[in-house]
A = this chain, B = another copy of it.
């Protein structure tokens, strides 16, 4: 059916899109895709019209207003228009402005959910963010300052790569223990995925920003449920001992 389909691409791996999403990509006349989308995802697209939009596409940044106009213009030509967004379109996906534009223009549109990063990261860790004994609430947020629960349950931060120290200091100020486990995962579900663990104190006092690659999304998971990962994952902060051994060997 003609109209605009806001489709969640999932976390990155091409086969973590939904079957519905993949089918619409196959049938779409034109596809507008985010810069966050991994290129392997575009293998689903049989359309010859692939339009990159978003801030990371080459040198230019498409303004949101221009994206909105392109979606409405394409839909008004009776085309099947796919708008492919990373993760889930409605979980920190900034879909509201596009939805408003489509509603104002009276365009038929549908939303196809996608695997949001928190779910994919949990699957990769093989660690439920909630367990019956430790936490039965999960909070997803982009705001270091406003996330914590008084009862210290699991919190997952999106887009936090540049606010790691702030995430830690806020949680510590709110009463989280300094030894609360933290997992950090970069490029979830892609071949370049990397994961680390540390304590909240280490996240606070360590100089951790340089551990992560430019322009790759990082998800930060905090809570007692991740205690086992402190042993299983690579430590974010290398113990001083390792540095000394390396120095002695070089």
Contact = CB atoms under 8 A, between A and B. Distances in A.
A87 B46 CA distance: 29
A137 B127 contact: no
A231 B36 CA distance: 35
Please state the number of chain copies in the assembly. Answer: 2
Given A19-B22, A122-B113, A129-B91, A138 B136 contact: no
Nearest to A225: B96
Interface stretch (A10-18, A48-56, A200-208, A212-220): A10-18
A234 interface: no
A137 B140 CA distance: 6
B142 A139 contact: no
- What interface size band does chain A fall in? 35 or more
Interface string A136-180: 111111110011011101000000000000000000000000000
Contacts of A122: 88, 90-91, 111, 113
B119 A88 contact: yes
Given A10-B18, A130-B140, A139-B140, 14 more contacts: A17-B18, A19-B19, A90-B129, A91-B138, A96-B132, A99-B126, A99-B128, A113-B115, A114-B115, A130-B142, A137-B143, A137-B146, A146-B149, A150-B150
